[in-house]
Chain A
């Protein structure tokens, strides 16, 4: 049970306070309700580029990091398809420094041309490091485009292509800030060795005078239901053939979301899971296999990905995966297997909640979903799932006409040599 207090400032800023007096530290987490799904299809990658620019100085503070480091703090941020989250960890005595810094960049940025020029380059290098210069790095670009036709989940947070980032203008930056970065679209979560009254005083002092701004209306196009299997194959300079299969799932608060989460664990949560045990250990068709989803707000995807043992035919591997998926739609899992994945989920939540930072991240995230208190109901939602739910939901998701299959073939199957030029 994670305890918290909650209040809203007159300008609309929602504030969550999580007191934990066993730690000397404090966390200040600011979540903005904007992600890659809110981008213009011709200007993708912007939410993430903007996240970089948030460190380029604000209206009254030329450099964000320096005063924070001087206060013994660390910070970082991340952008997903749904949201942008900034967080600070610092000794609790220096809490006010975080309020000062975060409120100033919510008030207004410096909008420096230099910062934009440099961060465009930095993000280009990030793009190269993670998506181009990495074997299989383009897989998610392909899978998103294959699996989504209308919904903006069809592009990556880093952007659909490098040129979108390279062409970003200072004017775009300013407009993006005005539209999304204000108290109406933000959630502040403060945790650690703090007192609610003191947090309230600091929130009013530093954030209270920031104009409310307009609540952004997410006008996200719905993805129409898929009616026919989709299939694609590519051949790339990678050492191993790989198989990917995606099936649409459900929005984050749909009760079936929780069932899907347990299904991913039945299929690949650990050494005794079905895909691993059958396809890696018994049939030896794959050297690795995984099943996962991203927990996105709108309907996401459940994905199965595996690297084939050299010499195994793609069709055979695909067929073996399909047999396992078919099995879970036809036969009910045992009560013991269901209990196993429930126990795993209970553990995962307990270990995640050990970290103060993760608790604060999650409180803000669940407040975005509608109420921070949802966080404390998660275990219960998993607990009520039955073996029949697993079968029923599996049957809904794993149908041929909902499948998106990618055969990723290796062009150069032997890549063990390297050339040295002194």
Chain B
């Protein structure tokens, strides 16, 4: 008989050697940097063209995301339908992304079709026309989608919290509105496109199986000319304008049976040395299924289906927050318990057993998160676009393995200060 009470021996996190698999890099003839994590096992491929075209650079709300969205909706030679037909005929998927600093065009395809697809991407990037007709559809459908989202308590809570933390004129606090949709004008989108989607603001990130002579092919398509011309852009400065009022209770849906609870505070930007340490503290508090918030508020009290805490860090600022959707009658109890859990981390050292569990859990997670070229390129992309090196990653791993309970308590005392937190419930 085996002893089922006794857990099998495990290998501990500190014994795992975690190394970020390498990225290959080179430049096209026109200077565009290319980063590549090759993989030969599967036929799949991902290519991302990243531009300095995030909402940081827009002169009015939603210009960056609208321009990004409409890039693929018409070129001087092709209608939106023709573009879609070409991409889709080859079983490929074209998507776009726009965040605060960067905007990108992403292609997922099978290696055997890449040769046929690259010229279409070239066409989209170099001769997008952003047709008026497409813009009108984008505005109308965007407003319709927004009207549905505005009925969801979590959506309303998230955008309000961004506004309180950063101010609604700041790129981090700005959000979509019906008015902003109405005010989108084609000529401003075209001007934004011409200024930001140029060869000198482009970086290319690739993962997966590449065809033979790939470098030459890429260079031929994107590297031999100064496409869209060289444009200079300046980084504007925005000052944070956090709200003075800290507590909010909003009734968005009088019949709502749940409330979206958000408790958040500002946090330093991604370059601050506390960031990797906070990741550990955050995990203990609300970063995994066994976290203190989940154990207490879901598994002990059943107030919610899930409660999490997060650390979000951007280039110039960040925030730490707790988020959940809880039964309408227990939202206040959820807030009270959340503060109680933060206070406990200020008052008591995290027991070594719990801390070692969290270390192992986090290291296991990173190990899984480095599994596969698509995941590895995402790590590299985040480092490269932030101007960071591999040491940043190694340091974060090292902190997970070695940070002491005492340091974490100190960190909790610095950041878990009740008066610094914004509180919001949206029913």
Contact = CB atoms under 8 A, between A and B. Distances in A.
B371 to A, nearest CB: 5
Given A135-B148, A347-B110, A420-B250, A271 B325 contact: no
Contacts of B311: none
Contact of B249 (A67, A240, A422): A422
Interface in B270-325: 288-290, 298-305, 325
Contacts of A255: none
Contacts of A94: 8, 10-11, 364
B368 interface: yes
Interface stretch (B137-145, B191-199, B377-385, B410-418): B137-145
Given A237-B255, A354-B42, A104 B4 contact: yes
Nearest to A133: B258
B357 A133 contact: no
A49 interface: no
Contacts of B249: 421-422
Nearest to B177: A416
B364 A74 contact: yes
Contacts of B305: 122-123, 125-126, 129
Contact of A205 (B2, B9, B360): B2
Contacts of B325: 125, 129, 133
A132 B257 contact: yes
A231 to B, nearest CB: 24
Nearest to B258: A133
Given A72-B365, A89-B368, A97-B10, A350 B44 contact: yes
Interface stretch (A17-25, A34-42, A315-323): A17-25
Interface string A119-139: 111111110110011111000
Contacts of A288: 141, 144-145
B16 interface: yes
Interface string A77-106: 000000000000111011011011001100
B332 interface: no
Contact of A340 (B89, B109, B290, B300): B89
B interface secondary structure, majority? mixed
A170 interface: no
Interface stretch (A147-155, A178-186, A279-287, A297-305): A279-287
B151 A239 contact: yes
A350 B43 contact: yes
Nearest to B326: A125
A354 B364 contact: no
Contact of B16 (A22, A91, A104, A422): A91
Contacts of A60: 4-5
Given A72-B360, A72-B361, A344-B88, A281 B11 contact: no
Contacts, number: 233
A240 B258 contact: no
Nearest to B360: A72
Nearest to A74: B365
A238 B148 CA distance: 7
A284 B8 CA distance: 61
A275 B147 CA distance: 22
B88 A272 contact: yes
B106 interface: no
B54 interface: no
A314 interface: no
Contacts of A248: none
Contacts of A23: 371-372
Given A74-B368, A97-B10, A421-B249, A206 B137 contact: no
A66 B83 CA distance: 50
Given A23-B371, A65-B290, A287-B141, A71 B89 contact: no
B141 A134 contact: no
Which residue among B148, B325, B360 has the maximum number of chain A CB atoms within 10 Å of its CB? B148
A277 B364 CA distance: 45
Contacts of B11: 91, 93-94
B80 A271 contact: yes
Contacts of A61: 4-5, 7
Contacts of A336: 89
B327 interface: yes
Given A60-B4, A70-B360, A133-B258, A271 B302 contact: no
Contacts of B84: 270-272, 277
B147 to A, nearest CB: 4
Contacts of B326: 125
B9 to A, nearest CB: 8
Interface string B135-172: 00100110011011011110010000000000000000
B257 A128 contact: yes
A380 interface: no
B13 interface: yes
A120 B137 CA distance: 45
Contacts of B156: 418
Nearest to B109: A347
A211 to B, nearest CB: 14
A415 B147 contact: yes
Given A118-B301, A133-B325, A419 B251 contact: yes
Given A284-B137, A347-B92, 13 more contacts: A65-B290, A70-B361, A94-B8, A128-B257, A133-B257, A205-B2, A237-B151, A238-B151, A277-B81, A340-B91, A343-B113, A350-B44, A422-B249
22 contacts: A23-B372, A61-B7, A65-B289, A74-B368, A91-B16, A118-B299, A122-B304, A129-B305, A129-B325, A133-B258, A135-B152, A209-B2, A238-B148, A271-B81, A271-B88, A280-B141, A343-B88, A348-B91, A351-B44, A354-B44, A420-B248, A422-B247
Interface of B: 1-2, 4-5, 7-11, 13, 16, 41-44, 80-81, 83-85, 87-93, 108-110, 113, 137, 140-141, 144-145, 147-148, 150-153, 156, 178, 245, 247-253, 255-258, 288-290, 298-305, 325-327, 356-358, 360-361, 363-365, 367-368, 371-372, 374
Q: Which 10 interchain pairs have the tightest Cβ spacing? A: A72-B364, A121-B302, A343-B91, A271-B84, A347-B91, A287-B144, A96-B8, A272-B84, A60-B4, A239-B147
